[in-house]
Structure 1
């Protein structure tokens, strides 16, 4: 379809066209008013400088296009009784979303202090980008929004995430042409290959080409029609084109196009749901080409504005220094003829109010956009029934994530329409493949005889894009679902900023009364730094934890379960939680199992604790505290304890394991934090603390610097020393191994100074032996590979 006029019957009657155009003018007027006005909201007196905000903030350029789309979607909703979600990729077009939700009544319903009428308009205008008010983006405060758009690139992934498992929903996703240049958005076009028309809703991408970013033209807007059309068809879409700048022609064309698209989507869903057609459909989309800053100033200071990059933010600035700009602003505002749009009380005229949907059909009040209204608690199997039997600590081995996979298998069986597992082609690699006994991987492309675990009905979402997995999960949880994102630890950094944006959204949402709690965003990091020896330095990075620890304590949780039973307990807790970003770091390789299920549940509930079975202090003041967080640091700490027990039988050692990293902070900094008294009871205030930590060591210092005994704390962790080597050599390279830990104790415990000298030499010699053995054989020492903990804590070796 093109924008060329054809002699077809009009979709809009003259009256309907006039009303739609008036409604659009009202939305544009309110948008400009939010950017500029502090008072005189209906221009019932001449505009003065005192009526204008002292600081002008906001984005005009994309907003009229967003308003144009909104009014036409309203029409489609009313004609076909649709449930529709509006996602504005150009989230900085916030004034348009606020304006439209105010016009439809959603805003005043949720914010009674901003009623319909002149005073409500004044308050609406003043609060925008104003201290104590609301942001300029489509933030959590904006009714109907699940996408802020502060960082561009994620709108389409969020849209598809929201559409999964909502078969009645149509998600209209407006994609800015600047946003379309980002990598995440480019990958997001492939989301249509994962949308099942039988069980999911539909997504309508609307690529809004207004030609410019902040200061440059956009790539897609300059492509020739044939090239752009080929690109979009290649992505699997049928593009319809709405192009021009004449409002009457554009209104008619948009209305006609949306009617055709509604018919296309209905036909696709009918074939899938009633006729049983399973092949992947070609979904429709819209390319809307309109001027940037449409209906705004054509020219300012002799330079063109409408249709150029100059319309991007505030077209008329410096009003106090340029009186002619103030006059031009008044002319611009009056061009929308507000007296025709609002009655004497300042309320939208009834004939215009009637254009908006009502109740939950309003896009600002769709319950899917307030996902806590849709969220239902998961039916979780009792994780205790999946426990590894641990007769004695360290007596058996297990693969933590493989054990977790058996539990997740039944989580997915019990929750067939509210839980999904996301990951970038790593579900089997991360040992979670037991889930395939319940469900397959979502796949709507052709399936070959050599393929395994693929189905259009699958609920494991695998695509080799961390951006898509994260974006889908965010959209899915924000619209009421539950999920888990499994990823290699080093590559979760691909979505650092995405997770940060989501954490900010959740934190803000906690303080908005009408926002209902949504399911937590759960991230499982495995294939972690200490067991990426075979892949080399590129795969060795535990720094995501540091990033998350910068976020507000109200939202972020980080867990480091040391074995399978603690991983089960932690994950059960995370899937039950709401409004958090939960980060779990767990290994997938065979490793000793330390705690029974009952012990694990109690340990995880406390967040950290003394392992008395591994300690020798017997409740007295210890000579040294050996703390650990993470599965490999726990293993190396316990191996170091066995060495010290052999060499120094009278040494009083206290072993402390940390599962919940947040417990290390003071209670004033985090709700999980220990009081100073409790912290000192566990770690003491005077004994040296040797802390083996999974990640970068300085984080532990940062979390504990206020503690009484911080000067006694010595942390060993990843020091950015990695290569392709053996598992144990990874710990040696970073001084986290059992020999370095034991040497550290000798160096830190005063009474071992003289008696420990010979032992220290033996341990250094053992490190030399290790290096030579690794370089000769390519494997770790047999006494390291085959080490086992025993009930008396003495070293047991099973030599080759």
Structure 2
């Protein structure tokens, strides 16, 4: 390219950048007069000014330069906008490239469409101020900061031809999640993965303060990024023409380095040393090209540019003129024709078709999604000759199933397991028969199960596991996140954001379905023998239950065969968040595989083999349970009651799908009132042993006829390092407390069964003395098994 050609291209990029900036300002401020064909009047201005300008011109600058690079190199690239309030820029650029009008034909590429584009932004009935699901090309809503880089790497894994340009705001860079995300480069394999190009956007300020990375000395920042394992490139300044030349040259150098890394790795088919991937540091003024001062106070290059630099142009004539001067400084007549369409020479700057970042199918992952190949879960089932007749570790059985999932999808490379260093601890280690953990650092001769290529990703950051998996799913693949139950809370907020993304996406017909986000929560509250109180918290499901019914599912399989069915089911679903809570310790198995499948399909059912009710008569008491340990303790309590009070009519109800407790009109899995009453009766006491905090069961059932008779026992925030049964006793979820509650709640029974109740109280006292003397549970607890030889079946 000659110098003359280069200058022409820089001029085109600058004009395109000005067009994006003009559209961005218009979205924040204007209701009408989009092309400024007449002087601005107060009625042209929105009554409520909502949006963020400060980060936007830098985002537009980057987008324009990436367009040039995509077109020149025929790149497959998506753009992740990390700065939280970059929505005006993302909308403006997808509108300029034509994608926005293709997705939303009523927002046409003319004056009328521009008017609608401006009016809808942060306006009732319109669109949000972030790069939300409504924004074409987005897989990341930056409203909550910290997750952009993890999403970017998740998108790049197993996507060999994809480059993910990830813009990171310097405010976002202060978050813990983002700080950990820099280490994702230690897991990216250039042979079969794509590439991430981080672009650290330093404009120096957050909402009202300087940023840490914006203020540290340049050499220190370079050392920091080099310490993370990157090769940093710096673009710094404020004069547009100079910055365009620097950015074009730097972007070419960074993309050239990516190409060299990938070519070398793919030519040899292996990686002997982890490459130093490029990172670009763009240092530009906050609110670049905006007003320098407003009312004598500094705006451009300062935190006052963060949101709306000119606050009241509708009521302040001086501010109105300042806004008009600002918008006219972009010379819109050079950018748009009389009809409001982008001028022809500018329309040639962005790439065409699916190469446009707003139209890239990776940013609408359902377009690329292929079905996961799954084995027949029956092949992994535990043989259960009678209830409680065999002991197994539920998650170990699940691990054997997942091993085959990994094997069957090895060639497609579309399934990964994420977890914070716990795959083996959580008894899923059968997967290591067919794969290893990904590890791009040095591997010592004595290391085990580490490889440059693997399907298991372990890092001691729940944020990274969640972010990687979200990016992986949003670009069309499948996966599972395994975590200790207590520490999944670390990603509460990330779960919230993904649930919101799914909720909004469901009402956008152009957004295609993606695979569900599947959690396995294990090493749970009731079996933290060596870790104690710090590892005891079952409250994540309370958060999950708050979300829209179409999005969330919560499963509490009581044994291995029900866990198999649930795992198979969850891996087949789309556009949901599935939470599975299952223990990893050896435990009695209750249902044969066909009975387990029938029970799981219903989600809740009467275990007739466990109860003593006869005929059509109502039971005296309903013993309900949800969760593996609550099920065990409930059945042990029923065993005691059957012996001590043989004429007591007991119904045992197991709840596997927690959402069945919600009314049918509130959740698709919810029971109709008549069915709920049939199971739990209208007026009999229900002793409900629940895995988590009792309040959730009351929340889910408060409208039911018999709610006042539902008495829930669960985790009451009592815990320590102690024996498994003592944990249940501390929270009064044990068999003795459950049986005493039944005696107390059944009318007239306490007087007749006073001796049995005293025996239970004596057992509790005996237990306390025993565990404190011997350090283990009493033999009758350790060796208890279901003594009745009734053939298991799913019940009604």
> TM-score scaled by structure 2?
0.98
Contact kept, 8 Å, 2:387 with 2:789, in 1: the verdict is no
Whole-Å Cα distance in 1 between the matches of residues 257 and 247 of structure 2? 15
Over 3 Å counting, the alpha-carbon distance change for 1:12 and 1:590 in structure 2 is farther
User: Aligned-pair distance for 1:449?
Assistant: 1.5
* SS of residue matched to 2:268: coil
* 1:546 and 2:539 correspond: no
User: Out of 741, 754, 765, which is 1:757 matched to?
Assistant: 754
Whole-Å Cα distance in 2 between the matches of residues 700 and 10 of structure 1? 72
Whole-Å Cα distance in 2 between the matches of residues 611 and 277 of structure 1? 55
What residue number does 2:655 align with? 658
Contact kept, 8 Å, 1:683 with 1:689, in 2: the verdict is yes
Whole-Å Cα distance in 2 between the matches of residues 789 and 758 of structure 1? 23
User: Aligned-pair distance for 1:793?
Assistant: 7.9
* 1:501 and 2:509 correspond: no
Contact kept, 8 Å, 1:11 with 1:256, in 2: the verdict is no
What residue number does 1:372 align with? 366
Contact kept, 8 Å, 1:146 with 1:478, in 2: the verdict is yes
Whole-Å Cα distance in 1 between the matches of residues 335 and 373 of structure 2? 51
User: Aligned-pair distance for 1:754?
Assistant: 1.1
Whole-Å Cα distance in 2 between the matches of residues 608 and 449 of structure 1? 51
* SS of residue matched to 2:467: helix
* 1:688 and 2:685 correspond: yes
What residue number does 1:329 align with? 323
What residue number does 1:636 align with? 633
What residue number does 2:794 align with? none
Contact kept, 8 Å, 2:237 with 2:283, in 1: the verdict is yes
User: Aligned-pair distance for 1:322?
Assistant: 2.0
Per-residue Cα deviation, 1:100-130 (whole angstroms, up to 9, x for no partner)? 0000000000001111100000000000000
Whole-Å Cα distance in 1 between the matches of residues 40 and 576 of structure 2? 47
Per-residue Cα deviation, 1:635-656 (whole angstroms, up to 9, x for no partner)? 0000000000010111110000
Whole-Å Cα distance in 2 between the matches of residues 34 and 343 of structure 1? 19
Contact kept, 8 Å, 1:641 with 1:793, in 2: the verdict is no
* 1:288 and 2:282 correspond: yes
Whole-Å Cα distance in 2 between the matches of residues 555 and 136 of structure 1? 23
Whole-Å Cα distance in 2 between the matches of residues 652 and 18 of structure 1? 86
User: Aligned-pair distance for 1:9?
Assistant: 8.4
User: Out of 128, 153, 173, which is 2:121 matched to?
Assistant: 128
Whole-Å Cα distance in 1 between the matches of residues 690 and 196 of structure 2? 44
What residue number does 1:193 align with? 186
What residue number does 1:775 align with? 772
User: Aligned-pair distance for 1:758?
Assistant: 1.1
User: Aligned-pair distance for 1:724?
Assistant: 1.0
Per-residue Cα deviation, 1:563-591 (whole angstroms, up to 9, x for no partner)? 00000100111000000010000000000
User: Out of 203, 214, 217, which is 2:207 matched to?
Assistant: 214
Segments of structure 2 that go 5 or more residues without pairing to the other structure are 792-796
Whole-Å Cα distance in 1 between the matches of residues 137 and 84 of structure 2? 13
What residue number does 2:8 align with? 15
User: Out of 479, 484, 487, which is 1:483 matched to?
Assistant: 479
User: Aligned-pair distance for 1:10?
Assistant: 5.6
Whole-Å Cα distance in 1 between the matches of residues 219 and 341 of structure 2? 46
Per-residue Cα deviation, 1:438-484 (whole angstroms, up to 9, x for no partner)? 11000010111111101011110000000000000000000001000
Residues 565-584 of structure 1: pairs in structure 2 closer than 5 A: 565-584=561-580
User: Aligned-pair distance for 1:753?
Assistant: 2.2
* 1:359 and 2:353 correspond: yes
Q: Which moved further from structure 2: 681-690 or 617-626?
A: 617-626
Whole-Å Cα distance in 2 between the matches of residues 618 and 465 of structure 1? 53
Whole-Å Cα distance in 2 between the matches of residues 93 and 367 of structure 1? 21
User: Out of 366, 383, 408, which is 1:389 matched to?
Assistant: 383
What residue number does 1:748 align with? 745
What residue number does 2:106 align with? 113
Whole-Å Cα distance in 2 between the matches of residues 617 and 42 of structure 1? 78
User: Out of 590, 593, 599, which is 2:589 matched to?
Assistant: 593
Residues 604-615 of structure 1: pairs in structure 2 closer than 5 A: 604-615=600-611
User: Out of 394, 397, 403, which is 1:403 matched to?
Assistant: 397
Alignment size in residue pairs? 787
* SS of residue matched to 2:86: helix
Whole-Å Cα distance in 1 between the matches of residues 555 and 316 of structure 2? 57
Contact kept, 8 Å, 1:726 with 1:779, in 2: the verdict is yes
What residue number does 2:457 align with? 461
* SS of residue matched to 2:251: helix
User: Aligned-pair distance for 1:61?
Assistant: 0.2
Segments of structure 1 that go 5 or more residues without pairing to the other structure are 1-7, 795-800
User: Out of 332, 341, 364, which is 1:347 matched to?
Assistant: 341
* 1:168 and 2:161 correspond: yes
User: Aligned-pair distance for 1:319?
Assistant: 2.2
User: Aligned-pair distance for 1:275?
Assistant: 2.2
* SS of residue matched to 2:430: helix
* SS of residue matched to 2:244: helix
Whole-Å Cα distance in 1 between the matches of residues 654 and 434 of structure 2? 35
Contact kept, 8 Å, 2:387 with 2:790, in 1: the verdict is no
Whole-Å Cα distance in 2 between the matches of residues 757 and 323 of structure 1? 85
Contact kept, 8 Å, 2:84 with 2:130, in 1: the verdict is yes
* 1:413 and 2:410 correspond: no
Contact kept, 8 Å, 1:12 with 1:252, in 2: the verdict is no
Whole-Å Cα distance in 2 between the matches of residues 407 and 571 of structure 1? 9
Contact kept, 8 Å, 1:197 with 1:269, in 2: the verdict is yes
Whole-Å Cα distance in 2 between the matches of residues 618 and 288 of structure 1? 76
Contact kept, 8 Å, 1:237 with 1:283, in 2: the verdict is yes
* SS of residue matched to 1:754: helix
Contact kept, 8 Å, 1:106 with 1:365, in 2: the verdict is yes
* 1:304 and 2:298 correspond: yes
Per-residue Cα deviation, 1:275-331 (whole angstroms, up to 9, x for no partner)? 234121000110000000000000000001000000000000122342211110000
Contact kept, 8 Å, 1:645 with 1:793, in 2: the verdict is no
User: Out of 435, 439, 443, which is 1:439 matched to?
Assistant: 435
Whole-Å Cα distance in 2 between the matches of residues 436 and 320 of structure 1? 65
* SS of residue matched to 2:530: coil
* SS of residue matched to 1:193: helix
* 1:238 and 2:235 correspond: no
Contact kept, 8 Å, 1:391 with 1:596, in 2: the verdict is yes
Over 3 Å counting, the alpha-carbon distance change for 1:793 and 1:690 in structure 2 is farther
What residue number does 2:68 align with? 75
Whole-Å Cα distance in 1 between the matches of residues 2 and 526 of structure 2? 68
What residue number does 1:58 align with? 51
What residue number does 1:260 align with? 253
User: Aligned-pair distance for 1:791?
Assistant: 2.2
